[in-house]
Structure 1
């Protein structure tokens, strides 16, 4: 499981206008509340990985099931990504689908690759450094294996964004599996978007029903366990949710959804219901269904809910969310080595108190690293790669 994620979205620095009339939205216009929402989801993943998965003696499930359901943040990311990519590209792809495809792929590479490659490089450099240190101490140098996780073949798969198809054997930075699946969705999406956007309302509703049926089948096939991150079946999780996100944007642009769900009462009700379902450990399919309504309610709201959600700390968290999502896997990798060296035992031997201290330190370090990674690698790398690929004139979100 992650992430980002599916965390690829226009940042506020790239969105210069804030508009309330959905029919006047342009590709660079800011859609309120999406940035904080993805920031909350990214932090949810981090808390899930560091506590529920990584430090077993914390046992958050004794208080709430919500933390243990953190893998569902990835499903939220997939929907958000389909929503945002449709917002940015629906006009250009509808006008000229073949002519835009190559620029679209270049833009996706510029958006995802700089930080992905930087974190991947951290893993490789740290692995080689640790083995060089072992060689200095023991005289034995362990080569990087050809196959398996953190191997030569996994490195090649990561360079081509294919690791998500079999993440257990191809991952260096394990949260990046979802970024790989998103990239696959990006390759398919431009061929579908013009047809989805031009379809009449009835056809859109029928397509939404088919996509939801595919998710329902996925839930049945997995025993309602959406925490599927390994193997081609993960595409059955990613693609329907990504396309449902596109249809959610079409509903948002139509305006009816905003009028129905844009009030504070609807937003608070859906948010409260989602939190209750997470707390009680409701079926994954139910929670993912609520995500769809929650996205529409939050982006359409212009009242109390929007003001509470768009406070500066959450806005910042959303802007660094992609960096946070990718870097926290490296923090966990480094923590494992440090804990082993300091204690001579694994993380399982940490007491509940020391587990909480370790969790707090890992989370703080991840947040601290996310800020410079976002500004110095993600943004700088994206701009440089866009210039190199000749797409400077395309929308900044691309």
Structure 2
């Protein structure tokens, strides 16, 4: 197996911004009464109304990064490679997911939707398959189920060879786009979950394959694609997701790869903790709402302060989780697996 490919630090920074958008703009709107954040300006209102679309940026980034990390060093060639891939994904995702599931059991005790069936679904990372999706235990964790399915399809297709991978990629992108077009909506809903993942993840992987050609596209053209996709009204027949999944986010990824600012230390710090931010931020928000309720009567200063305090608390918890749960668990699992793999075979 060849050496690890260089880290795509600029995409890590972009992942941090996506996590910030989902957590501290879209989900922060619940801290205030209905309509308190409406300004009547589409640009200003977009983060609080459509910030959920940043999940689709996560999918596109994941597809590109996975192709870079595994196809870039030809690391998926055999069943043994598939096992190593699965262990690496387990070490990356499951420890914090499991801890947050236990936290959610305590934080949301008595919530009607948190049934034993929902707990089992979360335990085995099948939470996107129980109703109400995003309404049981850790809501944002639904996307983990979708990502896991995309990981499996990607890894098994890569092991079968380039032709199989091209076929799976084309089929996933076409199926995802067709289903989203058929059920075009201005809001996120459960029927969109897997189509969003298929489209975004495998489109990101296709962008990696075409990276040499796409590198010749001028920056102004990428900005024009982003602007056009963002300009398309979500009430059109294409819905809210397709313009961003097909135009805005792929162009943003390609443009972001050229921006050195995205690998500045604050954004890398944010990107490293993006997974923890994504899983943790709803707990402090919901506990505050259960204790105090929405921040009624808050003026502009109160709205800004509410966002800042919510972000600060969530970032602190995410940092602690990253340092004391994510990284130690990841090192422990990978070290145990490496030791097992090196163990000599005996009669």
Query: Which deviations, in whole Å up to 9, do the C-alpha atoms of 1:119-166 show, x marking residues without a partner?
Result: 2222223356xxxxxxxxxxxxxxx58xx5223222221110011122
The TM-score with structure 1 as length reference comes to 0.72
Partner of 2:337: 389
1:159–1:211: structure 2 CA closer, same or farther, 3 Å change rule? closer
Task: Give the one of 350, 360, 366 matched to 2:296.
Answer: 350
C-alpha deviation, 1:266, in angstroms: 4.4
Taking the aligned partners of 1:279 and 1:225, their CA distance within structure 2 comes to 6
Q: CA RMSD in A?
A: 3.3
Pick one of 212, 223, 226 that aligns with 2:184.
223
- Paired residue secondary structure (1:70): helix
Residues 1:333 and 2:286 are matched in the alignment: yes
Measured against aligned partners, the alpha-carbon deviations of 1:211-264 in whole angstroms (never above 9, x if no partner) come to 544343223322243613x25x52122122211111111112xx1211224xx5
The answer to whether residue 102 in structure 2 is matched with residue 121 in structure 1 is: yes
Matched, 1:149 2:149: no
Partner of 2:252: 294
Q: Distance in 1 between matches of 2:322 and 2:120?
A: 24
Distance 1:388 1:94 in 2: 20
Residue segments in structure 1 that go unaligned for 5+ positions in a row: 1-24, 129-143, 340-345
| Structure 1 residue 85 displacement after superposition | 1.3
Contact 2:186 2:235 in 1 (8 A): no
Q: Report how far residue 53 of structure 1 moved.
A: 4.7
TM-score of the pair, normalised by structure 2: 0.82
**One of 13, 18, 22 as aligned partner of 1:41:** 18
Q: Give 1:27 deviation, angstroms.
A: 3.4
Note if 1:59 corresponds to 2:37: yes
- 1:177 Cα offset (Å): 0.8
Partner-residue secondary structure (3-state), 1:332: helix
Superposition pairs for residues 210-359 of structure 1, below 5 Å?
211-225=172-186, 227-228=188-189, 230=190, 233-252=192-211, 255-261=212-218, 264-266=219-221, 268-270=223-225, 283-290=240-247, 291-299=249-257, 301=258, 306-339=259-292, 346-347=293-294, 350-353=296-299, 354=302, 356-359=304-307
Residues 31 and 333 of structure 1: is their aligned pair in 2 closer, same or farther, counting only changes over 3 Å?
Answer: same
Offset at residue 110 of structure 1 (A) = 0.4
Q: Find 2:128's aligned residue among 160, 164, 180.
A: 164
Give yes or no for contact 2:180–2:196 (8 Å, CA) kept in 1.
no
Q: 1:61 to 1:84 in 2, by over 3 A?
A: farther
Q: Deviations over 1:99-118 (max 9, x none)?
A: 21112111111000111122
Report what 1:373 is aligned to.
321
What pairs up with 1:86-125 in 2 under 5 angstroms? Answer: 86-90=67-71, 96-125=77-106
Q: Distance in 1 between matches of 2:328 and 2:60?
A: 27
